[in-house]
Structure 1
Amino acid sequence: MTGTAAIVPGPRTPAVEGEPGEAAWADYVATARQLDGVRRAAATAAGEQARSVAAAREELAGVRERLAPQQARLRELGVPAISLVPTPPEVTESARTMAGGPAAVLAGLRSARDWAEAADDTLAARGLPRLARWPARPRNLLVYGPLALVFPLLQLMVFLATGTGPVSVGALVLGLPMPAVAFMAGWLAIGRLFRPRPEDRLDRTPRFGALVCLIPALLMTAGLVLAMLPG
C-alpha cells in the first residue's frame, strides 16, 4: 500500500459582502440617524411647549392679580361693571391672536401685563399728576404739613382774637393731642391718595410724619405760653 499524505483542510475565509449589502447597511444607518434626529427634535419641541404652557399659566395668574384690584378701583370711581367686560369683537380678536399656540398665548399675556402696569400708574396718579411717583418724604410732606399747621393756626387766631384768657388757655389744652390727630389723619390720607401697585409697598414715612406733625404744635405752644406770661 502506497502511503499518501493526508490533506488537512485549512480555515475558511469569510465571504466578503458585496456592494448590495454595503448599500443596505448605509441606508439603515442613515435612516436610524434621521429617526434619532426627528425624535430629538420632537422631544425639544415638546419641552419648549411645556415650558411655554407653564410660563403662560404663571403669567395669567399675575395678570389676574393685577386686574382684580384695578377693577375694584374703577368700580369705586364710578365705572359701570358692563364697561369692564370685554365685548364679543374683542373676545374674537383675542382668540384669533391666541391661535398660534402656547408661545402666542404667552406673548399676549405679557402684553396684557404691560398694559396692566400702565393702568396701575394711571390709577395711582389719578387726580394727583406725578405726585405718586415723587420720593416718599417730599410727597408725604404735602399731606402731613398742612394737617400739622391747621390747629396751631387756629390757636394763634384764638389768641389774637381773645388775648390772654381762659379761651386761649383752653385752646392750648385742646392742642395737646392735636399732633397725634394730625399724624393719623395724614397716615390715612396718604394711603387714600397714593395707592401703590399690587407688588409695591406704600412708604408712609411714619417717623418723618410724626416729626412734621409735632414741631409746629411745640413751637406754637411754646410761643403762646411765652406770650401769656406776665411781662
Structure 2
Amino acid sequence: MRREGPEVRATATGPGPQRTAGPDAGTAPVDAWAEYLAAARQLDAVRRSAATAAGEQARSAEAAREELTVVRAGLATQQERLRERGVPAISLVPSPPELTEAARSMAGGPAAVLAALRTARGRAGAADAALAARRGLRPTSWPARARNFLVYGPLALLAPLIQITVYATTGSGPASVMALVGGLPMPAAAFVVGWVCVGRVFRAAPDEQVDRTLRFGVLVCLVPAVLVTTGLLLALLAG
C-alpha cells in the first residue's frame, strides 16, 4: 500500500478556492423582504387615501347638486313674492364679474362649491326672514276684514260726526233737521268711496283682484249712521 507523504497532504489541504459561510450571508434576503413589505404598506395607504378622497368628493358633489336645487327653488319663491309686492322682475343671470368672483371662491372643488351654496342658502333665508318681518307690519298682510276696516271705518264715522256737530251747535232747530235728512244717503256714499279706495290702496299688482268684503263694508258704513240718526231723531222728537 502506498503511503502519502507530507507533500501530498500539503497539496490536498493547501490554499485554493474554498466555500465558507460568512456572517452576512442570510441578512440580504431579509432586508429585501422588509423593504418590499414597507413599500406594499405605503402603496396600500396611498390607495386608501385616494379612495377616501374620491368618495368624499363624490359625496360633496351630490350634496352640492341637492343644495343647488334648494337654492334655485328658494330664489324662485322670493322672486314671486317680490312680484306680488309690485317689484319689477329681476334677472337672476349673474354678470361676468360675478361669475369670475364665484369661480375664484369655488376653486377648491366640490367641497368649496357646497360651502358657497350653503352660504347662499343662508343669505336667502335671512332675506326671507326680513321679508316676513316687514310683511307682518304691513296692512296688506292682514286679514281682509281687518285691512278693509282701515278704510271703511273712518268713512263710516264722517257723516255721523258731522250730524252730531251740527246738532251740538244749533240744537233742535232747522239746521239739525237738515243735517239729519242730509245724513241719510251718507252711508251709501261712504261705502262707494271705501270700495274704490280699498281696490286702489291694497292692490299689489295691476291684475290682482282685491277682496273688498262687500257685506262687511256695508255693515261698517251703515251701523254708525243708523245709530246716530236714530239718536238724533229721538232727541229732536223729545225736544
1:101 to 96, 109, 113: 109
Q: Distance in 1 between matches of 2:34 and 2:73?
A: 59
* Structure 2: gaps (5+ residues): 1-25, 167-177, 206-215
Query: Are the aligned partners of 2:74 and 2:124 in contact in 1 as well (CA < 8 Å)?
Result: yes
- Describe the shift of the 1:27–1:213 C-alpha distance in structure 2 as closer, same or farther (beyond 3 A): farther
* CA deviation profile, 1:33-86 (whole Å, cap 9, x unmatched): 3333223322321221122112211221122223334456379534775xx543
Distance apart, 1:102 and its partner CA: 0.6
Q: Distance in 1 between matches of 2:225 and 2:27?
A: 113
8 Å contact kept, 1:155–1:168: yes
Q: Using a 3 Å threshold, how does the CA distance of structure 1 residues 43 and 219 change in structure 2: closer, same or farther?
A: farther
Distance 1:213 1:41, change over 3 A: farther
Q: CA deviation at 1:119?
A: 4.6
Aligned to 1:77: 87
- Partner residue of 2:31 out of 23, 26, 43: 23
Q: Deviations over 1:173-199 (max 9, x none)?
A: 7889x99x79xx59x94x949xxxxxx
TM-score if structure 2 supplies the norm length? 0.52
Question: Which amino acid is 1:227 matched to?
Answer: G
Residue 72 of structure 2 is aligned to residue 64 of structure 1: yes
Are residues 90 and 173 of structure 1, via their aligned partners in 2, closer, same or farther at CA, if it must alter by over 3 Å? closer
> 1:48 aligns to what?
56
Gaps of 5+ in 1: 1-17, 194-211
2:135 equivalent in structure 1: 132
Q: Is the 8 A contact 2:136 2:142 kept in 1?
A: no
Which whole-Å deviations, capped at 9, do the CAs of 1:111-153 have from their partners, x for residues lacking one? 323443455466x38xxxx74355x99x849845523513422
Distance 1:118 1:173, change over 3 A: same
1:222, CA displacement in angstroms? Answer: 6.5
Secondary structure of 1:100's match?
coil
Q: How many residues align?
A: 182
- Aligned partner of 2:154 among 126, 129, 150: 150
- Give the counterpart letter for 2:46 in structure 1: V
Q: Which has the larger radius of gyration?
A: 2
Which amino acid is the alignment partner of residue 61 of structure 1? T
Distance 1:102 1:48 in 2: 9
TM-score by length of 1: 0.53
Name which of structure 1's ranges 44-53 and 146-155 shifts more when overlaid on structure 2.
146-155
Determine the C-alpha separation between the residues in 1 that align with 2:90 and 2:36: 69
Distance 1:33 1:215 in 2: 89
| Identity within the alignment, % | 40
Provide the secondary structure at the position in 2 that maps to 1:99.
coil
Superposed CA RMSD in Å reads 4.8
